Chain A
């Protein structure tokens, strides 16, 4: 069974640029959630995708957007990057019918904004 994978591993961007991060969910998992983890903090929920639609959203501005594809993989897009967007971005997947269960995390993409 293949776990959650994310790409790229690391990324350096400058303020104002746009970035796209990618996630492949664990086999059989149809729900993908994205989290932002700043240094020294716990992960914060950005949004969740289910059946190719945004299914819930945390307290993040509209410049954070996403997509989910028919194969359940997902993208996180961030426009107009700010210095505070520097963080570890984690993707997590969960299987069908398990809204209250644990989620399985990928290794993350470490984004640095200069």
Chain B
């Protein structure tokens, strides 16, 4: 079983749509959780951290369920510029803070 699993997609949605990505992780000792965004042939960039209480940043909402070891990302009112790969990322709780990435979910927003 992979340490962090995501549906690779691709997701093709029209502008204005709401899209949700899901992710599960296997290490119950994981300490922190993130969504990164990666544009084609570029480096990953932090989109948002994910907190147990859930958190929102504009059109983006992240949720964490530690009991189910499940993380989600909701994007509302999709824009063309949201087209990218979304990476679910878990910090495994070791002293050195190794990041474990999911495979990534490809999102294409079309006009």
Interface contact A99-B43, CB-CB below 8 Å? no
- Greatest chain A CB density within 10 A among B45, B97, B102 is at B97
A100 and B97 contact, Cβ closer than 8 Å, known pairs A42-B87, A43-B44, A105-B44: yes
**Candidates B32, B45, B94, B100; contact of A101 at CB < 8 Å:** B32
At the interface, yes or no: A30 with Cβ under 8 Å from chain B? Answer: no
Bin the interface of chain A by size.
20 to 34
A-B contact count (CB 8 A): 67
**Number of residues from B at the complex interface, CB < 8 A:** 26
Interface contact A41-B103, CB-CB below 8 Å? yes
Interface contact A100-B43, CB-CB below 8 Å? no
Q: Which chain B residues have a beta carbon within 8 Å of chain A's beta carbons? A: 4, 8, 31-32, 34, 41-46, 49, 87, 91, 93-104
Q: Which chain A residues have a beta carbon within 8 Å of chain B's beta carbons? A: 31, 33, 35, 40-45, 48, 50, 55-56, 58, 90, 92, 94, 98-108, 110
